[in-house]
Structure 1
């Protein structure tokens, strides 16, 4: 199940020749986690790149006063994890948590490095995937600085129309910067 989803995603990013795909697909291992499992904790090194086959996760930041900032959601079929910690091999500043029971494929940093060094097409695909992720982060920064909560919410629904059914509303409220106790009223006041 997961490998065919991964192959579809890779083809959409940058198709690989058979030998490159065989090497890349060989580094992925099945992994599952229960709901509300912390896969990465701030201060620890991210050891894996995850491919989400099922479930929903979030990456969030926790400040000195224990205030959370939900940064991104991940769900099938997409890559997940704390990518900067993984690729820079530096302790994470963020948490990666499952919001629902989740099924993944995951690849270790060492295995990814080896396959990218031996297969330049895999490195090219990885660079393109990271560039797409960076583009999404830049879009998110514009939203945070320029858009109202209503516009952020509409943008989120445009990108991920199914999100209301899969992510608890308190995390959606945090993501768009609305008080969780007022989220239902806020949501009902918006014409989508």
Structure 2
């Protein structure tokens, strides 16, 4: 729970009353490696906070080629956020890449907290805006940078992912061919 509290406080610290209400809604759950937690067509019922493991959200493009959208790992929030907040069927999949443990809170509990505590609603708003800003930055990079530039940005921003995440998923995340990713990795001093 302390890891969750630290992640919340990094965005907007809560007084004890809000923290206790929030903490009461999060419950531990674990999944095996390569488990699809949320499938396309399902409505996301939970928000997740990762306490252990690595996951990804991905979509299936035409021809069943998958495209990795985002990774989550220890200390981050996870799940299919648009499906969760809109309570609409997901267009994406959320799966574990390794054995994963989470704290999770239901949509019903989060909605209740947002209605009862304006500070919690503000925290959710700010957290969602930070996530959206990150996705917009990544979208701009995908549209404007070369494969090498995308690769170098990844190494600058998150060098630890090379040890955490299979390279084929990193290549998919960057929108580059796995062979190109391997070539770039081979030509880089780590």
Secondary structure of 2:94 counterpart: strand
Deviation at 1:164, TM superposition (A): 0.3
Q: Which TM-score applies when normalising by structure 2?
A: 0.96
Q: Give the match for residue 129 of structure 2.
A: 131
CA contact (8 A) 2:52 2:74 kept: yes
| The one of 114, 126, 140 aligned to 1:142 | 140
Deviation at 1:191, TM superposition (A): 5.3
Deviation at 1:173, TM superposition (A): 1.1
Q: Give the match for residue 78 of structure 2.
A: 80
Alignment of 1:6-155 (within 5 A): 6-155=4-153
CA contact (8 A) 2:151 2:181 kept: no
Secondary structure of 2:173 counterpart: helix
Question: Which stretches of structure 1, 4 residues or longer, exceed 3 Å deviation after superposition?
Answer: none
User: Bigger CA drift: 100-109 or 59-68?
Assistant: 59-68
> What root-mean-square deviation, in Å, do the aligned CA atoms of Structure 1 and Structure 2 show?
1.2
Secondary structure of 1:65 counterpart: helix
Size of the aligned set, in residue pairs, is 190
Q: Which TM-score applies when normalising by structure 1?
A: 0.95
CA contact (8 A) 1:59 1:81 kept: yes
Structure 2 residues without counterparts, runs of 5 or longer: none
User: Bigger CA drift: 154-163 or 44-53?
Assistant: 154-163
